[in-house]
Amino acid sequence: MKKVHVKSYGCQMNVYDAERMADVLAAQGYEETPSVDDADLVILNTCHIREKAAEKVYSELGRIRENKAVRARQGLETRVVVAGCVAQAEGAEIMRRAPVVDVVVGPQSYHRLPELLAARNRDAAIDIEFPVEDKFRALPARRNGAEGRNVSAFLTIQEGCDKFCTFCVVPYTRGAETSRPVAALLEEAKRLVGLGVKELTLLGQNVNAWHGEGPDGKTWSLGRLLRRLADIDGVERLRYTTSHPRDMDDELIAAHRDVPQLMPYLHLPVQAGSDRILAAMNRRHTADDYRRIIDRVRAARPDIALSSDFIVGFPGETDADFAETMRLVNDVRFASAFSFKYSARPGTPAADREDQLPEDVKSARLAELQAALERDRIAFNQAMTGRVIEVLVDRKGRAAGQMAGKSPYLQGVHFEAPEAIFGAVAVVEVLEATAGSLRARYLGVKGASALGGGAFHQASAAPYSGAAQGIANAT
Ligand code: 5AD
Ligand code: SF4
């Protein structure tokens, strides 16, 4: 059997796309290999969001070229595909600079991989169109993947972006905003549950802008879709990412109050705390708009873990602007966050501004911001100590006898437990917050009779409904 190795960079949607490429290639007789050395086909699924992305791809291609030469001496052929957002942005330039590449394919065309691999000339082996045909319709059904994938899976519901924040390449690499139809999503979700998946993470560059015609003929929003997905037997947990503040509507906020399967976690990028910078970024909301949304979300789900993305050093950002970002962070207290130095992306409006900031200013601001975010992350995790929470067990722990998984708040949790609970929702008591995860004591499996659920019910009926306010809704 031929082997394919897919190396994915960047966001979760790339992880999803990588899996779907493997689905396409499985139908062509390829099996996945975790090692690049024994791969007959290597796919680099690239990311273009920040600087040096393209350079990284070219140096990786250099390594692959050496690898290919080694394999060639053993009489083995290696073919190379560059996919993802760098492929979309660079197109034929990749073929020119790196002759080792056989196929260049953008994020909207990878369902055509078999044809592209069979192309007779290099021009025909490039596809960076935004085709009218629906890639999703052309893709084969989801298959069983690697072990962990069968517990928690991504499901792309929306792609592209029409918001045009002035720093961002996404509207150019992923194209216009499109939503997948309800029926297709329900079908894919049911298929995944049939494979044993317990947790679905709905993906989109602007996931809360998703809308589609429901079976009732009405236009559904994400809140409505989440309710419908929660009705599917076997869907234990739902998450969605990434959202834009402007699309946080009442129905979605209400879903956080009403849908027990919807996990108390919200990634809602704000990028900056200064209204002047937010306007220059074309975010079309103010810092106070954001605070008000957070207040409404917290009113709906008081224990929700909030997460965000930040950019420091956007062109023209003053000390006073940056102080506003720090003030927002100190007001909201995020459970987790990603923060970046502004990086000028070719073709985006902000890249052409003349008031770019020096690197050392950006670095100093990033360090200050990250220290505050880290303080809040640790505080959030430490506040979990003593609480009884549910953990979806999706892997073995690092040490022997340990199992691990995710809390409702997306924290990693590890504890000693029998291997048989893989894929189940475990109930645990948090003992301690360590640097990267929570250490816990296993109490039992949620609602199960076969795996010691009875013991759990005796041991912790009271704390489960009381101390664990975070999962009060989830039961
Ligand atoms: N520079 C720095 N960070 C960026 N992001 C997007 N574009 C840029 C850029 N040009 C960050 C934003 C976004 C996250 C996915 O990446 O914070 O939310
Ligand atoms: Fe980029 Fe803004 Fe669209 Fe997010 S909303 S993908 S940051 S343009």
Instruction: Output Rg (C-alpha) for the chain, integer angstroms.
Output: 23
Q: According to the model, what pLDDT value does residue 448 have? A: 61
Strand partners, 442: 428
Q: According to the model, what pLDDT value does residue 465 have? A: 30
347: left (phi over 0), alpha (psi -120 to 50) or beta: left
Q: What is the pLDDT along the chain (475 residues), one digit of tens a residue?
A: 899 999 999 999 999 999 999 999 999 999 999 999 999 999 999 999 988 888 899 999 999 999 999 999 999 999 999 999 999 999 999 999 999 999 999 999 999 999 999 998 888 899 998 876 689 988 988 887 654 558 999 999 999 999 999 999 999 999 999 999 999 999 999 999 999 999 999 999 999 999 999 999 999 999 999 999 999 999 999 999 999 999 999 999 999 999 999 999 999 999 999 999 999 999 999 999 999 999 999 999 999 999 999 999 999 999 999 999 999 999 999 999 999 999 999 999 999 999 999 999 999 999 999 999 999 999 999 999 999 999 999 999 999 999 999 999 999 999 999 999 999 999 999 999 988 899 999 999 997 644 443 334 333 333 333 222 232 222 2
Give the other-Cβ count within 10 Å of 68's Cβ: 17
Is 168 known as a binding-site position?
yes
Q: According to the model, what pLDDT value does residue 471 have? A: 29
**Extended strands (E) in 346-437:** 388-396, 402-406, 412-416, 425-433
Give the other-Cβ count within 10 Å of 371's Cβ: 9
Query: In angstroms, rounded to a whole number, what is the distance separating the alpha carbons of residues 323 and 131?
Result: 44
Cα 25 to ligand 2 centroid, rounded to whole Å: 31
Query: In angstroms, rounded to a whole number, what is the distance separating the alpha carbons of residues 417 and 410?
Result: 20
Distance set, CA 239 to CA 131, 151, 183, 268, 431 (Å): 29, 13, 19, 13, 26
Strand partners, 200: 153, 238
Q: According to the model, what pLDDT value does residue 131 have? A: 78
**CA torsion angle 92 94 100 104 (round to 10):** -60
Contacts for 108 with CB less than 8 Å, ≥ 6 apart: 129, 130, 131, 135, 159, 174, 175
Closest CA to 397 of 360, 442, 348: 442
Q: According to the model, what pLDDT value does residue 293 have? A: 98
For residue 8 the two structure tokens come to 């994915």
Cα 266 to ligand 1 centroid, rounded to whole Å: 18
Q: Is residue 40 within 8 Å of residue 46, measured between CB atoms?
A: no
Any atom of ligand 2 within 6 Å of the Cβ of 161: yes
Say which residue the tokens 């985006």 belong to.
348
Query: Best of 49, 166, 267 to mutate for ligand 1, by most ligand atoms within 8 A of CB?
Result: 49
Query: In angstroms, rounded to a whole number, what is the distance separating the alpha carbons of residues 459 and 381?
Result: 24
Cα 163 to ligand 2 centroid, rounded to whole Å: 6
For residue 305 the two structure tokens come to 């873990």
Nearest atom in ligand 1 to the alpha carbon of residue 338 is 17
Is 232 known as a binding-site position?
no
Q: Which ligand is nearest to the CA of 271?
A: 1
Nearest atom in ligand 1 to the alpha carbon of residue 169 is 7
pTM: 0.91
